[in-house]
């Protein structure tokens, strides 16, 4: 009578255990590699980190810039005493300065115009100048 073969249980379970180990190590490697990915916020959210020139209107974007940088000297109450008589608080007077090119030349410190803001060697931030340029390019509308 033939002798029954005795199989070692450990040798049979060796292969499934290696497969499980391989899958575990593979998944761990995938997680480790994908966790090294770095998102650049400026690329993901360009408006937040950049200059927002969408929906440029006089009331929403341009007036706040002018209020911050220009109205101290060029408003209804100060234009006569500090702003050389140039009032840009009303649309009509602002549009006149836009049409003759002096507004943009002044805020860009063009040599053919008086650099504004007066007493400051620094330009108005580039983004704000871009917003004003965009508004002018759209026709400098009273909106």
Arithmetic mean of pLDDT, 80-90: 86
According to the model, what pLDDT value does residue 47 have? Answer: 54
Residue 28 lies in a domain: no
Residue 35 lies in a domain: no
Residue 27 tokens, joined: 């998944």
Residue 25 lies in a domain: no
Give the residue numbers spanning the domain of 90: 50-137
Residue 130 lies in a domain: yes
Give residue-wise pLDDT tens across range 87-132: 898 999 999 999 999 999 999 988 898 888 877 666 788 899 999 9
Residue 44 lies in a domain: no
Give residue-wise pLDDT tens across range 19-72: 888 899 998 888 877 766 666 555 565 555 578 888 999 999 999 999 988 888
Q: Structurally, how many domains does the chain consist of?
A: 1
According to the model, what pLDDT value does residue 56 have? Answer: 93
Q: Is the model's pTM score more than 0.85?
A: no
Q: Are 88 and 70 in contact (CB under 8 A)?
A: yes
Contacts of 112 (CB under 8 A, 6+ apart): 105
Q: Which letter, b or e, does each residue of 113-125 get, where b requires 16 or more Cβ atoms within 10 Å of its Cβ?
A: bebbbeeeeeebe
Residues in the chain: 143
Residue 21 lies in a domain: no
If we measure between CA atoms, which residue out of 47, 59, 55, 46 comes closest to residue 138? 55
Residue 15 lies in a domain: no
According to the model, what pLDDT value does residue 21 have? Answer: 87
């Amino acid at each position: 009578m033939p002798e029954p073969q005795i199989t070692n249980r450990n040798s049979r379970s060796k292969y499934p255990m290696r497969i499980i180990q391989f899958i575990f190590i593979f998944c761990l490697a995938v997680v480790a590699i994908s966790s090294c990915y770095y998102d650049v916020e400026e690329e993901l959210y360009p408006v937040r980190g950049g200059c927002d020139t969408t929906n440029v209107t006089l009331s929403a974007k341009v007036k706040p810039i002018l209020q911050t940088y220009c109205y101290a000297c060029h408003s209804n109450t100060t234009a006569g005493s500090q702003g050389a008589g140039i009032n840009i608080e009303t649309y009509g007077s602002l549009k006149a300065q836009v049409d003759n090119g002096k507004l943009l030349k002044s805020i860009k410190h063009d040599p053919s115009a008086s650099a504004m803001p007066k007493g400051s060697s620094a330009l108005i931030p580039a983004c704000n100048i871009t917003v004003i340029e965009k508004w002018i390019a759209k026709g400098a509308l009273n909106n």
